[in-house]
Each structure stands twice: as structure tokens, then as C-alpha cells.
Amino acid sequence: MDNKKELKVSAIENGTVIDHIPADKVLRVVRILDLDNSGDLALFGVNLESKKYKKKGIIKVSNKFFKDVEINKIGLVAPNASLITIKDYKVVEKRNVEMPTEIGGYVKCINPKCVTNHQNVSPKFKVYVREGEGIRLKCHYCEKTTKQNEMTFIG
């Protein structure tokens, strides 16, 4: 008898696997990508063992290949995640998510007085990382800083 413990999850024929998501961020990634309202098969796991991160999450989505905007959203929530593209049950590409340096249009400015919250102006931010504090967004218009845990995704 083999004592090796394994997690067995169905393979996907075509689609994308998002791996190395912090376990506490998996559901947030599901929501910001609107996977809970998609017609495609989506499987996710949390608190899986990982040599590199101790605990991690994973999401498998059939028939879905993410656009740059969606990948940028993942990068803001899980900057160390990796994307694995599957075609005909084979891995055709594996890459790390890269955090964007600038974003626009899909995160709300935290400042209630910002012009983007009162007029038809699309939000724009510079993205940076503050050592020990994580990802920050600096609004192009009002210069207010939004912390990673304060980000509200729109659209």
C-alpha cells in the first residue's frame, strides 16, 4: 500500500489554472474574475500544502483564457500567483503573474471626494509595493493611497 497522500482533481481539457494563490485570497480572486457567475466549470481549493508557501490556493477554469486586464486584477490580489495554460490536456504555457505598474478603470479610489467618484472620470492609479506593507495604489487625480486590503474592484 502506498502511504503517499495526494489530492486528485479532474484534469481540464482546455483552460487555465491559477496556482500559488495565498489561501486567504482564493475567494477574492473568484469574485474579481466573476467566476462564480460564469457558465464555465471552475474548481478551487484552499489550504493546500505547498513547499514554497506552506498553504496555498488553486483555481482551475475550463475553456477560459484570461485577458491582460483580468491578469492585472489577479496580480493586485495575488502577485506571486502563476498561470498555467492547458490545451488538449497538456500544459502549453506556464508564467508568473506580473504586477502592473499602472492600472485604470477597474479599482475604485478610496477617497470619497475624488473626481472619479463624482464625475464620469475613469480611475487611474500608479501601483507600487511598500516594504512590509504590501501593494499600494496611488490615485492619479487626488493622490490618495489605497492599500491592498482596501481595494474595491468595479466593473
Q: Residue 139 and residue 91: Cα distance in Å, rounded?
A: 38
The predicted-structure confidence for 56-104, as pLDDT tens digits, reads as follows: 999 999 999 999 999 999 999 999 999 999 999 999 999 999 888 999 9
* Whole-prediction pTM: 0.86
Q: What's the residue count for the chain?
A: 155
Q: Where are the domains of the chain?
A: 15-96, 102-153
Q: For residue 68, what is the enclosing H or E element?
A: helix 68-77
- Asked if the model's pLDDT at residue 17 lies above 70, the reply is yes
**Which one, of 103, 105, 113, lies nearest residue 137 by Cα?**
103
The predicted-structure confidence for 103-124, as pLDDT tens digits, reads as follows: 999 999 999 999 999 999 999 9
The pLDDT, as a whole number, for residue 9 is 67
Domain 102-153 is in which class? mainly beta
Provide the CB-side half-sphere exposure for 51 (13 A, CA): 0
Whether domain 15-96 has CATH 1.10.3720.10: the reply is no
